[in-house]
Structure 1
Amino acid sequence: MTQVGEGQDADESAPPVMTFGAPTAGEILAERYELVEHINNDSAGRLVWRGVDVVLRRPVAVVLRYPGGDSATEMLQAAVAASRVIHPNLVGVYDAIDEGERAYVVREWVDGRSLRELAADGPLDGARATTIGNAVASALAAVHATDMVHGNVHPGTVMISDDGRVVLADARTDGDDSQESDIRAVGGILYFALTGHWPHAEAPLRGATAGHGRAAIPDAVRDATGALAAPRQVRAGVPAYLDDLTMDLLDAEVAPPSSDVLAAELARLDVPADDHYLDNSGPLRFAADTGDEPSPLAAAGGRKVAIGIAGLLAVALVGLLIGISALGGDDKDPQTNPVAQPTSSAPADDASPAPAVGPIKISKAQIIDPDGDRTEVKDADKVFDGDEDEGWETQTYRRAANFGNLKKGMGVWVDLGSERSVKSVQVLLSAQGASAQLFHGTTEHPSTKSGDAQLVAEYQQKPVGRAFEEHDGTTMTFTGFDAEQKYRYLLFWITELPDSDGGYKLGVQEIKVQGS
């Protein structure tokens, strides 16, 4: 098992590793992180170690760079930014320390393999490639929701753990990166998973350029003009719609969707293989020529995003009805030609795509405090006013992080105004170390102690996603929503507070909801 740093082992183009003051097994960094085993050196010349957090007794990965100081600024800034985004498909970043002669980042240890290593055994099937693409797009959606960029999406930074979890590691961004380049990199991930080749020469995605493991990943298959071959041209069994999606993401002339829309589309496609995943029903977002089948390489360069779903449905309906008319031969009455006079909208209804995902405006909020004295129920509107620098906050508790014996917890209730399809809820906090959970309900209760108690009793029966326990960032992202269910009322429930000014205190700076 290889735990990589920036996703690539050192190759011939990697800078030399500086070993002055290099650590040894058993050394404890920052009086907390014990180094256990040197795993490898990444493509940027950094040392990657397996370690143990001796305080929390959990395995960690430690990525060291020599020297520290100004030369390590980009690495440390990227780690600090990544630590603020908590998501199941992102590797957790625990610490970033500069000691001058060296700097190091401490992050989650993942028992598993990178996508680069996994695909070395052979290309993946469509279902597994879609699952991986969905996980990466979901991780990027969480990053992009904070207006940040990952900037290092490639087969070496996509990790698949032994229990099947897919995580994206090692954000590393500079001024040349953008959210669009992140999204197009998902096309590269899909292409690599389906073919075992990386399309970096035609579309030099971040993380695949010289000095970052180019020699370690085979280039994509191309024709004599350098045009990229579609995955279906490289190997059999790739679903047509997944082939189209991949090539559209790699086509600079096709505007990519946002990361949350891409994640939603891949989530729709991410179904078990025994549910006939490999049929060609696919998304209607990407159009194909209804004429004669072009050569695969010509088709790879000619795909374009459909102007609108209505146009696609019309084309599909016309093509279907023309086929029916042709089968009917001369017996068909021209006056009842369904092409000229369609009488049913059922096909369009059946094929309608999910609405586009975007921000959902919160209509109102309340502070829920069934065990308190009602002194903390003010300023609830600050959690959705668009100002992340000002929010609602608890008072300072002196007894214990879990409110002591005073209360079981408290939280923020929000009303979306009407029932909506929800994709994610992001909560921006004032400090790290809080524990919280998200719940939903169907009833609005009065803002009184008894009303709050009734609300909590009802809502705690309906959790959304997993609970965050003493999490290491200032952003919590909840994504466990049922795509078939509508939501209106949500409760962000705090159970433990972080250290603050000699006591325990937390502020909720902003709550952001994504959905349709």
Structure 2
Amino acid sequence: MDTRRSVQAGEADRAGIRARGGSLAPGRVVGDGRYRLLAQFGVDERAAAHLWRARDGQLKRDVALTLLVGDPADPEAARLARRTLERAAHASKFGHGGVARVLDVLSLGSGVTSSEGLLGVVVAEWTKGSDLVDLVAQRPVAPAAAARMVQALAEAVDHAHQNGLVLGLDHPQRLRLTPGGALKLAFPGPLPEATLRDDVKALGAVLYLLLTGRWALPGGPPAVPAAPLTPQGHVVPPRSLVPAVPAELSSLAVRTIEDGGSGGIRTSSAILRVLDQVAENEERTQLIQSVGQPEGEADGTIWTTKKPVKDVARRRKLAFGVTVLVVATVVILAWGGLMLINLFQGDNKASGPAINVAAPPSNSAPPQNSAAPPPSSAPAGPKVGDPAKPDSASIYNPQGSGDNAGRVKNTIDGDPGTIWRTDEYQQQLPALKPGVGFTVAFNDPVKLAQVKITADSPGTKVEIRSADKKNPQLDDTKVVGAGDLNGTDTTITLQQPTESKYFIVWITQLGDNDGGGFISEIGDASFLPAQ
């Protein structure tokens, strides 16, 4: 009887939330008349949060609104709403590509009136892209694509947790898929009692949803079916529902969601390490399969491209176009050479009085002191040019396979938001190995003067080494510069400009991980040649 009453009370509360939210309709204006509602994208009934796209009438742009619906006269509801707003306000100082930026937080008496039937509003930038629930309603996502999509979200969680922030992404309608294929928290506003562990479990639930089309946590939207349970009350592994799911990915989802057992995954950094390996293995497998796949056979991914067409006429046109381009380039270079020759010849024929360079100018005063001024005591550093773009980046680890090899390309992609990180070690270097790092290779030798590293790993020590080949022994490399990564951007000036095709960024000391252990990460590395 008590259980029935509890269920009935919960249903009554949800009915009340829906009734109060029913007054929200497209065209209505909230937030002191600033935001006009355009379309609703979901309801998180656990927090009485209605998720809307709206138009900012002042700045003339679309925004994402998380509307906290409730009765201002209810002290408990008002308290919970204030806690959510406080957490959202703290998140406004956090910036990451996986989380929509919080623009404003409105509370009762400060942008929200009691007559609106709202307890608060979280205003965030609008995220273009697709609705996650609509995506999985069509069919489950291919495993490799699912791993990549959750990777971006896990990186955001990892950064937020390092700053002590809870994101609150444990509801699928709060997420959107960007045009670039990454998941993003589009409607920030964590639940009042949400914890860091809830964010981690949410990553497992999102992965489960992408792989199976089912939601494995309480409080999901009615449009998404719940994940089935075993007779013992455990979540059924995704592989049991979709046999194409790799065993590692299926195990990762279940171990992240469930609390019990010693094999559970409890940190976002651990999820990232597994996702890196699974995504790399799955992409390699799909590549091998695609080579032997018959033409016209469906590959099962959500993004497809047309298979190459054997068009002889098209190839002839392409070859002709390339030939014309090459001929035009030769003509331009020849014309430029003739112009330079004429320029120098014209200078030799220039008329004018002869100048004796050994004699001082006739109208200049004699020098007061014939001695030359002393040189500056501080030698000037080398002048540097624009960054040289490496052709490739690869893990350098003479004593093993290296750390996160699948993401080392992030160090040279020009985007500090994409991270390469080492594994997490329980002992500081060089207890287990002398160091860990990566090699960058250039098409042609570069005379390097500086290396600029963007990172958030205080305590990390780095050496810049030159090498004669891509994978040399450590003793065959030469240290040409060193520095400590104690700020967001660190510029390491080489002892002297060094020319080579291969340079190694070698970590000799890892940063401290707040949760224990040692780990370092690098967002971007720029290589500045001497002028």
Provide the TM-score with structure 1 as the length reference.
0.49
Provide the TM-score with structure 2 as the length reference.
0.48
* Greater gyration radius: 2
Q: Which of the two has greater helix per residue? A: 2
> Higher RCO, 1 or 2 (CA under 8 Å, sep at least 6)?
1
